[in-house]
Structure 1
Amino acid sequence: MVDALLPVVTLVLGFVASFLLELFRNRWTTRSGQDVRDAERRQAAHLERVAYEREGLRAVHAAMHDLLGRVNAIALPQAKAEAAGMDWRESEAGQELRAAAMHANVRCSHESALLLHPPLIEAVGRLTTAAYPMYWTRESGSDPSHRRDFFEANQVASRAIAARLRELYGETEG
């Protein structure tokens, strides 16, 4: 009887072991596949975020460049008006230059509001704050403290953009 029962028990144990191994293999395969899909989703989300931030940084950089150009465009009419003892803002060209600088400053603020990096937002905020006296006051760019604040803020914001780009692409300073 043992001789007849032993092959049946072996067959049943083999079947159960095979069933359990297949069950564990399916679970492992499913979990492994899920891990791969999760990693792919994380990678895609990271690439989308990098692309979004890169476009935002590009837009802020262009807005900063425009602001710098608009503020620098005020220098010549301001110097001519100052030499004549007049207020550059009261001339027709002065009003246009002032409006253009104001528009560029607002655009710079708007573009920075779309950024995701707080230190960069603060740096651009400092730039837009420093830009205000450059086109709003009579002295504008002739006041050394206004000029220094504005150009330092521009440098800080430019460096913040460069640092964030290095972070996005995984480069470290060294």
Structure 2
Amino acid sequence: MVDVLLPLVTLILGFIASFLLELLRNHWTAQNVQDIRTAERRQAAQLERVAFERDGLRAVHTAIHDLLSRVNAIAIPLAKAEAAGLDWRESDDGQELRAAAMHATARCSHESALLLHPAVIKAVEHLTAAAYPMYWTRESGSDPSHRREFFEAEQAASRAIATRLRELYGFAPSGG
């Protein structure tokens, strides 16, 4: 009887052990597949976020360049008007130049609304605030304090964008 029962018990125990090992292997495989898919989803989401942020930074940089060009375009009519003792804003193209500068400022603000990095947002906000006197007042760019503040704000915004882009491309440590 032992000769018959021992192989039968061994067979049953082997079957149960094999079944349990198969269940464990299936669970381990399913868990690994789930972990890999989760990691892939996270990586794809991170890559999309970085691409979105890079595009936003490039758009803001372009908007800043446009603002700088529009503000600089006021210099010649301003110099001519000051030499004649007039207000540049009342010249033939004064209103058009002012409107272009206002539009460029609004574009900077709009583009910065899509940014994700607080330091860049703050720098662009400071730039748009400093731009206002450059095209709104009679003396505009001729006032040294306005000019200094505007161009320092422009440099700070450009540096903040460059720093963030370096971080996103992996060339500098991320600073939150």
TM range (shorter): over 0.9
- CA distance in structure 1 between the partners assigned to 2:156 and 2:19 by the alignment: 66
- CA distance in structure 2 between the partners assigned to 1:153 and 1:3 by the alignment: 93
The alpha carbon displacement at 1:92 in A equals: 2.0
User: 1:22-37 residue pairs with structure 2 within 5 A?
Assistant: 22-37=22-37
Q: In the alignment, does 2:144 pair up with 1:137?
A: no
Residue in 2 that maps onto 1:49: 49
- Letter of the 2:10 partner, please give it: T
Q: Secondary structure at the match of 2:93?
A: helix
- CA distance in structure 2 between the partners assigned to 1:163 and 1:9 by the alignment: 71
User: 1:15-164 residue pairs with structure 2 within 5 A?
Assistant: 15-164=15-164
| Consecutive unaligned residues in structure 1, runs of 5 or more | none
- CA distance in structure 1 between the partners assigned to 2:147 and 2:135 by the alignment: 11
- CA distance in structure 2 between the partners assigned to 1:19 and 1:76 by the alignment: 87
Q: Secondary structure at the match of 1:92?
A: coil
160-169 or 127-136, which deviates more: 160-169
Aligned length: 173
Q: Secondary structure at the match of 1:66?
A: helix
24-33 or 47-56, which deviates more: 47-56
The alpha carbon displacement at 1:60 in A equals: 0.4
Q: RMSD of the TM alignment (CA)?
A: 0.8
Q: Secondary structure at the match of 1:101?
A: helix
TM-score scaled by structure 2?
Answer: 0.96
The alpha carbon displacement at 1:49 in A equals: 0.7
Identical amino acids, percent of aligned pairs: 78
Q: Secondary structure at the match of 1:86?
A: coil
The alpha carbon displacement at 1:172 in A equals: 1.5
- CA distance in structure 2 between the partners assigned to 1:17 and 1:68 by the alignment: 75
- Letter of the 1:52 partner, please give it: F
Q: Secondary structure at the match of 2:122?
A: helix
The alpha carbon displacement at 1:100 in A equals: 0.4
Runs of 4+ in 1 over 2 A off after TM superposition: none
85-94 or 64-73, which deviates more: 85-94
TM-score scaled by structure 1?
Answer: 0.97
